[in-house]
Amino acid sequence: MLNVAMRPADKCLAVGAQMTTTETSDSRAEDGAPEEKLPGSPGRFGTRHVQVFLMFLGMMIAYALRVILSVAVVAMTKPETANPDFKAYNWSSSEQSLVLSSFFWGYIVTQVPFGYLANAWSAQKLLSGGLFFCGLLSIVIPLVVDQGGWIIVCVCRVGMGLSQGCVLPGIQTLLARWVPPSERARLGTFAYAGGQLGTVLTMPISGQLAASSLGWPSIFYVFGALGIGWAGLFLTLGSDEPESHSKISEAEKRYIRESLGKTVGSQDEKERLRTPWKEIFTSLPMWALIIVHCGQNWGFWLLLTEIPTYMSEIVGYSIKENGLISALPYLTMWILSFPASWFSDLALRRGAPRGAIRKVSNTVAHWGPALALLALCFVDVANKSVPVTLLIIAVGLNAGAICGFQINHIDLSPNFAGTMMSITNCVASIIAIIAPIICGEIVKEQTNVEQWHIVFYISALIYFLGNLVFIVFGSGEVQWWNDPASAPIEMSGKRSYQINTISTAYNPNNMTLKQIKSSEAS
What's this model's pTM, rounded to 2 decimal places?
0.70
Spatial separation of the C-alpha atoms in residues 62 and 56, rounded to whole Å: 10
- Do the bridges between strand 488-491 and strand 494-497 make them parallel or antiparallel, or are there none, so unpaired? antiparallel
pLDDT of residue 510: 40
Phi-psi region of 351 (alpha: psi -120 to 50; beta: other; left: phi over 0): left
Q: pLDDT digit string (tens) for 290-300?
A: 999 999 999 98
C-alpha torsion angle, residues 496, 276, 278, 482 (rounded to 10) = 40
Beta partners for residue 13, in sequence order: 478
Give pLDDT, residue 53: 96
Q: Which of the residue ranges 120-129, 361-370, 384-393 would you say has the lowest mean pLDDT?
A: 384-393
Q: What is the pLDDT of residue 284?
A: 96
Per-residue pLDDT tens digits for 1-46 = 333 334 333 433 333 333 333 333 333 333 333 333 445 566 678 8
Q: Is 307 exposed, middle or buried (0-12, 13-18, 19+ CB in 10 A)?
A: buried
CATH pick for 45-262 out of 3.60.10.10, 1.20.1250.20, 1.10.1740.10, 1.10.3720.10: 1.20.1250.20
Higher-pLDDT residue of 233, 510: 233
Domain ranges of the chain: 45-262, 275-482
The pLDDT, as a whole number, for residue 35 is: 35
> What is the percent of the chain where pLDDT is above 70?
81
Q: What is the pLDDT of residues 268-298, one digit of tens each?
A: 455 556 888 999 999 999 999 999 999 999 9
pLDDT of residue 260: 79
In 415-518 the beta strands, taken as DSSP E runs, fall at 478-479, 488-491, 494-497
CATH of domain 275-482: 1.20.1250.20
DSSP string of 79-121, one letter each residue = GGGS-TTS------HHHHHHHHHTHHHHHHHHHHHHHHHIIII
Q: Is the pLDDT of residue 223 over 80?
A: yes
Give the pLDDT of residue 42. 66
Best CA proximity match to 275, nearest among 118, 464, 476, 80: 118
Report the pLDDT value the prediction gives residue 319, as an integer from 0 to 100. 61
Q: How far are the Cα atoms of 176, 214, 223, 304, 321 from residue 82, in angstroms, in the given order?
A: 44, 11, 18, 20, 11
- Output phi, psi for 495, to 5 deg: -90, 130
The one-letter code for the residue type at 291 is: I
Mean pLDDT, the chain, integer? 81
Q: Which residues pair with 488 in a beta bridge?
A: 497
Q: Which tens digit of pLDDT belongs to each residue from 54-113?
A: 999 999 999 999 989 988 988 898 877 778 888 889 888 788 888 988 898 898 899 889
- pLDDT for 461: 96
Give the model confidence (pLDDT) of 130-186 as tens digits. Answer: 999 999 999 999 999 999 999 999 999 999 999 999 998 999 899 989 988 878 888
- pLDDT, one tens digit per residue, over 242-263 is 988 988 988 898 888 888 775 5
pLDDT, tens digit, 9 for 90 and up, residues 476-515: 999 989 876 654 443 333 333 333 333 333 333 444 444 4
Do domains 45-262 and 275-482 share one topology? The answer is yes
Cβ atoms 507, 6 nearer than 8 A: no
Which of 127-131, 148-152, 385-389, 469-473 shows the lowest per-residue confidence on average (mean pLDDT)?
Answer: 385-389
Residues in the chain: 522
Distance of CA 26 to the CA centre of its chain: 40
The answer to whether residue 231 scores a pLDDT higher than 90 is yes
Cβ contacts of residue 427 below 8 Å, gap of 6+?
Answer: 290, 293, 294
Is the pLDDT at 521 greater than 80? The verdict is no
Q: Is 444 strand, coil or helix?
A: coil
- Residue 488 per-residue DSSP state: E
